[in-house]
Structure 1
Amino acid sequence: MWDNSPFSMPDGAKITGHQGDQYRVNVSMPFDADGFFGRQCPECSMVFRVNGDDYDALPDELRLWCVYCGHNADHSDFWTDQQRERAMEAARALGVQIVHQGFERIARRTRGTSRRGRVSISFRSSPRYPRPLPEIDEERLARTRTCAGCEVRYAVFGEHRFCPVCGRLPAAPVAFDALQAEMARLDALTSLPDEVRAVLREQGVFTRNWVDTIENVVGIVEALGAATFHERVTDAEDRVRGKGNIFQRLDDMADLFVSAGCPDLRIAVGESTWQRLTRTWAARHVFTHNDGVVDEKYLRRVPDSRTSVGQRLVLSDADCREALADTTALCRALVDISAQ
C-alpha cells in the first residue's frame, strides 16, 4: 500500500504504488451472495463463475480454462464486462485527478507572469469526490460443480466439458451431466402452461424432442464407452482398429469389453434392461438413418415389436424417461469397469 497518496480513490480502489508517472491500482471485485465471482472467456465470450475463496488460494501465475470451449489463457484475460467497467471507472477517477493536478502545477508556475509574449493561466480548483465504483450484478448461480481433481467449486450456465483449473473433464461426469440435461429438457416441456404445450405439440416440437433424446443417449454411451475402453485396456487401439463405430453398436460394444477381459455389460445391467436398451438403440438407428420408418433390420433387432415394415415409430415421453433410466444404469456399469 502506498501511503500519503495525493489522490482520493473510490471505495474498492487503492493506489498500491507508483514509479514516475506510472501508478499501480488495486481494484476489488466483490463476490456474489454465494461467494462466487464471474469469469468470461475471451474466445467464446460465455460467462462462468468460480468460488472466490478457492480462487484466492490458487497461484498468481494461474492459467484458466474456459469451461465451455476449452480456451486456455492467463487468468487476467478472463475479465467479465462488468468487472472491466469497474476497473475502468477506477482508472478514470485516477486519470481525472492526475490531469487536475497537472493544471494546478501549470497555474502555479504561470501565476503573475503576464508580460508581453507570455500567457497567464488562471485555474481554480475545488475538492473532487470520485464517483462510486459500479457494482457487479451478474447472473446468479444455476448449477454448481466441484472438480473431483482440484476440488475447485465453479458454476456454469450451459453444457461444459472443462474444469476452469484442471482442463478437460473425465468422461463420466460429462456423461451424467448430459443425461441430467436430457431429463431437464423433458421436465421443462411437461411443465409448460397447457395452451403453450398445445401449440408446441401441434407443431411437432414434443415429437422432435423425444427423437432427439433417443438419438442423444446413444451418443452419450458411445463417448463414455470409448473413453472407458481406452482407459481400461492397454491395447485398445489395436482391438478397435477396423471395427468402425463399434461403441454405437450395443452388443458389439459389450462383446468388445468381454474380449478384453472386462465384465459383461449385459449381466451388469440385467437382462430386461438390456432388452429395452436394444430396443432404444434400434429406434435410434431407424430415426437417424430412415426417418423413423421401420425396416427389416429393426424387426430383427426387436422381434417382439408390433410394428410392420413401412410404419413409422411413435415415441412418447414415457419411452424417453425409461430410456434415460436404462442408459444411466449402463453408464454406471461402464464407470464400474473403469474403476476396476
Structure 2
Amino acid sequence: MSRDYFRHTIKALEELNRTTTYSMPILPDDDGYFDKECPNEDCLSQFKVNAEDWENLFSDEAVYCPFCGHTASANSWWTTEQLEQAEEQATQMISAKLGQALSRDAKDFNRSQPRKSFVRMSMKYKGPTHFVNLPAEALEEMEQKIQCDNCGARYAVVWSAFYCPCCGQNSAKLTFNNTIDKVRAKIKNLDLISQTISQYSKDEAARACSSLLESSIPDLVVAFQRVCECVYPQLENAKPLKRNVFQRLNDGSVLWKELVGNGYEDWIDDHEMQALKVLFQQRHLFQHQDGIVDQDYIAKSGDTHYRIGQHIIVKQSNVLKYTDIVEKIGNRVLGFLEGVAHE
C-alpha cells in the first residue's frame, strides 16, 4: 500500500518525533493555594503555597521544603497527582492527534477508490480524535496556614513545618510552637484514638496510645534543644556551641548564665527543675535503653519511683506537666531573641 495513503499519519508522527510540549493548567484550592510536593525521594511531603505569593515572592532558582529543608528550582515541586494527570492527558493528546491523522487518511483512501469496480476496499478508523485539556484540580485545603515572619510568604501544611518554602528561614519560634502544639494534640486525641482502634483490637489501642505518649518525651527534649541552639548563637557575646550541649541541662544552664546572667534554675521553680531532669533522663532511656531503668537514670534524675530493670511508664499528666515547663523555658529563650526576656 502506498505511503501516500498515510501521508497525514506520517506527517503527524514526524511532528511528534520532534520536541513536543504539553501544558496543563494548575488550579489553586478554594483558599487560593497551589499544591506542591518535595522532590526529595526520602521526603515527598506535600504542602501548599499561596498562589499570589508563588508568582510574586518565590524565586525560580530556589524553593525550600518546609519539612526537610531540601532546596530545588521552582519547576521541581509538582505533586505526584499533578504529574500522573499530566502524563495521562499528554498520552490522550498524542492519541487524539494520531487519531485525527488516521481518520483523515482513511477518508482520503476511501475517496480515492474507483466507484465502479468489481473489488472495492474501504478504510475506517475507530478511536479518539478529540482531546480536552483539563486543569489539575487542587487537593483539599490544609488547616494550618502559616505566614513567614521574614519574607511574608504564605503557605499551608499538615502538622509541623520547620522551614519557609520561599526564603528557607528556620523560624525558632514557629518550630518550637509547632512542636508544643503537636504534643498537646497527641494528648488531646488519645481517648478518641483509643476508642477508634479498640473497635478492632484493645491491645493495639493500648500500644498505639502508649507509643504516642512515649514519643512525646523526645519531641519535647528536641524542641527544647533546638530553640536554645537557634537563639543562643544570635545573641551578642555568644560562645561557639559544642555538639548537643543543650541536651545536657547543667552545661546548657551554665552557658545561659554566662551570657545573660541567669539560667534554668532561675526561670522555673525547684519542682519544675526536678521534673525537667526526669524528662531529659527519660528521653535518654527511650533513646538508648528502650525505656528500661538503670542505675544511671536513678542517680541523674533523682526519680526513685522505679527499680533497676523496670520499664518507664509515661502518663498523660506527666507529659502535660513536661510540656508546660518546656514551653515556659522556650518562651524565656525566645524573649532574649526579641530583646526582652519574659518575666
TM-score, normalised relative to structure 1:
0.73
Question: What is the CA–CA distance in structure 2 between the aligned matches of 1:300 and 1:75, rounded to whole Å?
Answer: 50
The 3 A distance-change label for structure 1 pair 338 and 262 is farther
Would you say how many aligned residue pairs link Structure 1 and Structure 2? Answer: 311
Question: What is the CA–CA distance in structure 2 between the aligned matches of 1:230 and 1:193, rounded to whole Å?
Answer: 43
Give the structure 1 partner of residue 249 of structure 2.
Answer: 250
Superimposed CA distance per residue, residues 186-228 of structure 1 (whole angstroms, 9 cap, x where no aligned partner)? 2222223548458248854444433332233222212222222
Q: CA deviation at 1:336?
A: 1.3
2:27 counterpart of 1:30: yes
Contact 1:276 1:323 in 2 (8 A): yes
For 2:30, give the aligned amino acid: A
For 1:266, give the aligned amino acid: E
Question: What is the CA–CA distance in structure 2 between the aligned matches of 1:183 and 1:132, rounded to whole Å?
Answer: 46
Give the structure 2 partner of residue 298 of structure 1.
Answer: 298
For residues 182-197 of structure 1, what are the structure 2 equivalents within 5 Å?
182-194=183-195, 196=197
Structure 1 counterpart SS, 2:189: helix
Superimposed CA distance per residue, residues 100-149 of structure 1 (whole angstroms, 9 cap, x where no aligned partner)? 565548976997599xxxxx997899995434626525243142222222
For 2:224, give the aligned amino acid: V
Question: What is the CA–CA distance in structure 2 between the aligned matches of 1:69 and 1:123, rounded to whole Å?
Answer: 55
Higher mean C-alpha displacement, 132-141 vs 165-174: 132-141
For residues 149-298 of structure 1, what are the structure 2 equivalents within 5 Å?
149-194=150-195, 196=197, 199-200=202-203, 204-234=207-237, 236-237=239-240, 240-241=241-242, 245-289=244-288, 291-293=291-293, 295=295, 298=298
TM-score, normalised relative to structure 2:
0.73
Contact 2:24 2:136 in 1 (8 A): no
Question: What is the CA–CA distance in structure 1 between the aligned matches of 2:235 and 2:53, rounded to whole Å?
Answer: 32
Question: What is the CA–CA distance in structure 1 between the aligned matches of 2:176 and 2:27, rounded to whole Å?
Answer: 34
The 3 A distance-change label for structure 1 pair 263 and 337 is farther
Structure 2 counterpart SS, 1:236: coil
Superimposed CA distance per residue, residues 19-38 of structure 1 (whole angstroms, 9 cap, x where no aligned partner)? xx767665321111222221
Q: CA deviation at 1:315?
A: 3.0
Give the structure 2 partner of residue 55 of structure 1.
Answer: 54
Give the structure 2 partner of residue 140 of structure 1.
Answer: 141
Q: CA deviation at 1:229?
A: 1.9
Question: What is the CA–CA distance in structure 2 between the aligned matches of 1:59 and 1:306, rounded to whole Å?
Answer: 55
Q: CA deviation at 1:310?
A: 3.0
2:67 counterpart of 1:68: yes
Question: What is the CA–CA distance in structure 2 between the aligned matches of 1:138 and 1:102, rounded to whole Å?
Answer: 36
Q: CA deviation at 1:173?
A: 1.8
Contact 2:99 2:128 in 1 (8 A): no
Give the structure 2 partner of residue 7 of structure 1.
Answer: none
For 2:37, give the aligned amino acid: Q
Give the structure 2 partner of residue 13 of structure 1.
Answer: none
Q: CA deviation at 1:318?
A: 0.5
Q: CA deviation at 1:289?
A: 5.0
Q: CA deviation at 1:319?
A: 0.5
Give the aligned CA root-mean-square deviation in angstroms: 3.9
Structure 2 counterpart SS, 1:38: strand
For 2:183, give the aligned amino acid: E
Question: What is the CA–CA distance in structure 1 between the aligned matches of 2:140 and 2:163, rounded to whole Å?
Answer: 20
Question: What is the CA–CA distance in structure 2 between the aligned matches of 1:69 and 1:55, rounded to whole Å?
Answer: 20
List alignment gaps of at least 5 residues for structure 2: 1-14, 115-120
Question: What is the CA–CA distance in structure 2 between the aligned matches of 1:317 and 1:337, rounded to whole Å?
Answer: 31
The 3 A distance-change label for structure 1 pair 127 and 319 is closer
Question: What is the CA–CA distance in structure 2 between the aligned matches of 1:193 and 1:287, rounded to whole Å?
Answer: 22
Give the structure 2 partner of residue 307 of structure 1.
Answer: 305
List alignment gaps of at least 5 residues for structure 1: 1-17, 115-119
Larger relative helix fraction: 2
The 3 A distance-change label for structure 1 pair 267 and 132 is same
Larger relative strand fraction: 1
The 3 A distance-change label for structure 1 pair 169 and 124 is same
Question: What is the CA–CA distance in structure 1 between the aligned matches of 2:192 and 2:317, rounded to whole Å?
Answer: 15
Contact 2:173 2:227 in 1 (8 A): yes
Question: What is the CA–CA distance in structure 2 between the aligned matches of 1:203 and 1:127, rounded to whole Å?
Answer: 55
Structure 2 counterpart SS, 1:61: coil
Q: CA deviation at 1:84?
A: 2.7
For residues 316-327 of structure 1, what are the structure 2 equivalents within 5 Å?
316-327=315-326
Question: What is the CA–CA distance in structure 2 between the aligned matches of 1:127 and 1:80, rounded to whole Å?
Answer: 28
Superimposed CA distance per residue, residues 254-278 of structure 1 (whole angstroms, 9 cap, x where no aligned partner)? 1111112454333234444334323
Q: CA deviation at 1:316?
A: 1.1
